[in-house]
Amino acid sequence: MATVNTGLGFRRRIFPGGLIFILAIFGLCLMASFVAASELEKQGVAHRPNQWLSEHLLSETSQPPFSFAYDRQGSSALRKLSRG
């Protein structure tokens, strides 16, 4: 029998059968999520490129969605230095 401390000075006992049941339900949910993820992988959904990401962040002419200053230089100047 396992004892769980709830933090308020109360202790609650979990019977081994209840703990096994909870772990079995958790395991089934975990396996179901893996099955769903593998089905998406088979369909090629996981590797489809994101159009917004390609247009706004990954292209050469895109501007970042934020700006900052470092050592009195704007982020656009630092960005040019890092690319080239």
pLDDT, tens digit, for every residue of 71-84?
A: 888 887 776 776 65
Q: Are strands 11-14 and 2-5 parallel, antiparallel or unpaired?
A: antiparallel
pTM (two decimals) = 0.36
CB 47 within 8 A of CB 40: no
pLDDT, tens digit, for every residue of 32-67?
A: 998 888 877 777 665 667 788 888 777 777 777 778
